[in-house]
Every structure is written in C-alpha cells, then in structure tokens.
Amino acid sequence: MPSRSTPLRGVSRLKPAVLLACLAAWQWSAPAAAATSVADPAASAADDVNPAELPEADQSIKAAPTGQWTGLWSRQTLLGDMGGLRSALGRHGITLGLTEVSEELGNVKGGINKGLAYDGLTTLTIGLDTQKAWGLQGGSFNASVLSIHGRNLSASNLGSLQTASGIEADTGTRLWELWYQQKFLDDRMDVKIGQQSIDQEFMVSQYAGAFVNTMFGWPAVPSYDMPSGGPAYPLSALGIRLRAHLNDPLTVLGGVYDGNPAAKNGAFDPNGDPQKQNAHGTNFNVHNGALFIAELQYGVNQPAMGQLETGHGQAGLPGTYKLGAWYNNEKFGDLRYDDGGLLLADPSSSGNPQLHKGNYSVYAVADQMVWRPSEDSSKTLNVFGRVMGAPGDRNLISFSANAGVTLTAPFEGRDSDTVGLGLGYVKVGNHAQGLDADTAAFSGNYNPVRNSETIVEATYQYQLAPWWQLQGDVQYTLNPGGGVLNPSDATGTQKIANTWVLGLRTTITF
C-alpha cells in the first residue's frame, strides 16, 4: 500500500469550519490579550499605540498573572502548559506531544474522478527521559498513537502511484512506535529497541520534508517493494537499530527488523490490505523474515561538538549526503513468470509466481544548502535529491527519484515560511511491464504497458503562529499510475488523464 511518508510531527490540520472558528477567535482575542496586562490608563487610548513605546511606560506596568491563553500567538504550542499537566508530567521526565494535521485535497482535473476529500492525522506522543525519571543518563522511552481520519483521495480519485499526501492511510486508531533508546560512549553511540517506524530515520531528506506528496517522505521503492510497504507510517515493526558517530562528519546507522509489518504470528494475506491485517499496530510479529538496512551519512560543513575553529573566513554551506541499502530475506514472487517458467499471463500458467530469494535496494540522498545572504540569515536556498533502485523482476517499482528546491524566509518578515518546488519520478519494473504486454497479447484486449509516472509539486508553508502552519499546495501528475486504464472509463480504452490536485493543509501543535 503506497500510503507512507514521514508525517510531520507536531503539526495538525483542521476542517475548514474549525479553521474559520479559530480565525474568528484569533481576531477577537489578539488585541484583548495585548491590552489587558497593562495598567497604564494611556494604554486604552488607541489600539495602535503600544504602551511600552511611551516614555517611562515600563516603569508603571504592573505584573499580571499569566493564564492558560496568555501569549497564545507567540508560544510554541497551542495549549501551553495544559493547565499544569505538562509541567506535572515533566517532574517525572515525561513529555507529552499532540499534533493534528488536517487537509482538504481536491482533484480539479484528470484522474479517475474529480472531487474533494478531507483527511487528517492526530498523533499523540509520550516520551520519558530516564535521567529525569530515575537517574539513568541517556535513556528514553517513546510511545506514539495515530488516529487517522477522513477519506483517501489518492485511492478513490487519482489512481496515481505517487499518492498525493503522506498522511493518507486507512482510517482508525493504532499504536505506531514503541521503543527504548540508550546512548552510550559519551553519546557517540546509541541503540534503539522496540517497535519502530524506520521512515523516521532512514532515507530521510531534510529539505524534501516540506512537501505534501507521499513520496517526498517514504519513497516509492520501499513503499511498493517492501512487504506491506515496509515498517513505515502508519505501520511499524519490531527491531533493533544501532547508530554510531564514527568521526566528525561520518555517522552510520544499521538496523534489523521483522520482514513484514502487517503479518500476525507469521500469517499474511498478500492480497489483503496490510493496514487492516495489523489494524491496531499491535501484532508485534517476528515470524516473517528479516529486513536489514544500513545507511552511511556524511555531513559537509556540519560542525561537531567540540570542534575548534581558528579561521576568520566565511563558513561553507552545510549539506548531508547519505548512501544506504536494504535487504529482505523472505521469498519474493516474480511479476512475469510462474514457477514452471511460463508467463503468468498465459492461461495455462499455474498462477504461482516464480520465487526469488530475497529482495534488495540501494539508495542515495543529498541535501545541500546552496545560498544564504549571511551566516545567521533565516533566508536559505536549498536543494535535495534522492534516487533508489530495486530489481525489476520482483518489484513493481524498479526506480524512484525525488528532487527539488526550497527557499526559507522567502519574504520580508516571513522568517518561518517555506516555499518549494519538487519533482517525483517512478519507473515501473521491466517484468511488470512485460506482464502488461503479455496480458494484452493473451487476452486480445487493449491493455497499455505501464512505464513511468512523474509528479511536480509547488508548495508554500505559511506560519500563522509557531504552533500553527497553513500550507497551500499544487500537484500535477503526468501519466498517472504509469499509464493505466481509467477504471471509470466504460469503453476500456482511456488511460487516466494527467491530474491537477489542489490542497490546503493545516498543522497544529497542541
């Protein structure tokens, strides 16, 4: 199921009606909040006069108690201390995170059907610092729960391989991650054990995270080629991961996880919906082979703790380059040939695909800042690229790539905004293409051969408050599904037309 990407932790979305209500509340509350805490009678003279600007005004300002909503528009979270709950938990080393991402996506042209769909994701995260809790340095527990709601536009209306939103998934509430991490050797190494979603650490592109399309998060190759899409949102798998900071620029990560995050006690229906087969995220399966993954990360112009500098020259621009590979030791069916060597499309085929031992992929990720006016400027121009390949005989997607450019602080006074333009490309594997051709030949029906799909996305993230972002988004998909027939076309002769999708996402950190 290609519904995975790295969801933005700490942000949320609201339905339009809720949005309007919030905006109205903002208009009503903001001026009041600024005025109430000032005792100087001159403060009420005019809304546009700030008492602090008046001579000696700050000698007469009286302290006022802060309330639940004091400083709402300048703080990091909507609910602040939650009436004392956060600080009470904090005494025991517990942190509480709650985010809501909501979006309205609309297919305005092309695709299977035009239409609008609302979908959203609530993420509850609970962390525990063992040093604060019981004095064990460097340890942390993490548990997260997802509540996925709304309708999946990509599945019902688009028919694209590169699905429009990284949070689209089956609705429901599920356990996501549940792990313990321990640092050691002066934080040069750490180990993480438990149920993990590896899209949080592997194949991550820093600058691609600004985009909405799924494939800028968890890419197409693992989404389609790993069993059940791999241990990535909204699924996760039991495993262990080791990270070592080899020297200043080099870091290596390696992990081993159960090979199929949807299986239960070893049972798995390859024709069923993986998310339904692990509907609550509590299968805790360890019986379906193993996924091995390793990644080498190299930072350029990325300072390390304790690094000494004596030069006075301009610092170079930071970048991160990653090279990785994964291997799954399960058996994988060929997409064109059966176990007797016949074409699967052949009516005389057994229908049982030829089995390959294992599956693998190699990938590379690059993130590089390419311009900033000064070292401490909020404005930065950044580029990213990510490519990966997998064998085309056993995988639907044999190659996928992302690339793009982002600009932070694009306008005066908009230091926390980001604008971006991204490109995504996927190539259908050669045996899947062969199957399409074979099917046409044997059936005599029109059955186009899938080849590739390309998407272009333009996006703008606008920060209303540190805890609230709005994101406008436009996506254009060329050759949706790689060029498959449109299931809504009664003639059976039309491919899915190129698609325009418009979207508005809101992310709130509670």
Partner 1 sequence: MKRSKTSLAVGRNAMAALLAGLFAVSGAASRADEAPSFLAGLHKQVTLTNTVPDNGDQNPYAIAVAPVSAGKFKQGDVLVDNFNNAANLQGVGTTIVDYHPDSKELTTFAQLPHELPQCPGGVGLSTAMTVLKSGWVIVGSTPSNDGTTDTKGAGCLIVLDSQGKVADVWSGPNINDPWGNMAVIDNGSSATLFVSNAGFGVGSTKGKPPVVNQSTILRLELDIPEGKAPVIKSQTVVAGGFGEQADKGVFLIGPTGLAYGKDDKLYVSDALGNRVSEIWDATTRTTSAGVGRTLTQDGLLLRPLAMVTAPNGHLLVTNGSNGKVVEVDPATGTQLAARWIDANKAQVPPGNGDLFGIAMTPSGDGFYYVQDDVNTLVLAK
Site residues, partner 1 (CB under 8 A):
33-34, 37-38, 50-53, 58-66, 70-71, 74-77, 80-81, 84, 86-88, 90-91, 129, 131-132, 186, 302-310, 312, 315, 318, 375-376, 378, 380, 408, 413
Between 17 and 308, CB nearer to partner 1? 308
Residue 91: CB minimum distance to partner 1, A = 5
Residue 137: CB minimum distance to partner 1, A = 8
Between 186 and 357, CB nearer to partner 1? 186
Between 311 and 347, CB nearer to partner 1? 311
- Gyration radius from the chain CA atoms: 25
Q: 93: left (phi > 0), else alpha (psi -120 to 50), else beta?
A: left
Burial status of residue 75 (CB atoms within 10 A of its CB: 0-12, 13-18, 19 or more): middle
Between 160 and 418, CB nearer to partner 1? 418
DSSP assignment letter at 249: S
Neighbouring C-beta atoms of residue 83, cutoff 10 Å: 11
Between 39 and 267, CB nearer to partner 1? 39
Three-class secondary structure assignment of 457-485: EEEEEEEEECCEEEEEEEEEEECHHHCCE
**What are the phi and psi torsion angles at 130 (to 5°)?**
-70, -25
Between 74 and 352, CB nearer to partner 1? 74
Residue 184: CB minimum distance to partner 1, A = 14
Burial status of residue 150 (CB atoms within 10 A of its CB: 0-12, 13-18, 19 or more): buried
Structure tokens at 296: 């080498």
Residue 109: CB minimum distance to partner 1, A = 38
Contact between residue 100 and residue 510 where contact means Cβ atoms under 8 Å apart: yes
Residue 162: CB minimum distance to partner 1, A = 28
Between 131 and 348, CB nearer to partner 1? 131
Between CA 263 and CA 389, with CA 213 as vertex, the angle to 5 degrees is 65
Residue 265: CB minimum distance to partner 1, A = 40
Which DSSP string do the residues of 142-169 spell out, in sequence order?
EEEEEEEEE--HIIIII--SS-S-TT--
Bridge-based pairing of strands 237-245 and 397-408 is unpaired
Between 33 and 364, CB nearer to partner 1? 33
Structure tokens at 458: 């333009």
Residue 355: CB minimum distance to partner 1, A = 44
Between 249 and 333, CB nearer to partner 1? 249
Give me the sign of the Cα torsion angle 332, 333, 339, 342.
negative
Residue 280: CB minimum distance to partner 1, A = 32
Residue 82: CB minimum distance to partner 1, A = 9
Structure tokens at 24: 């109205």
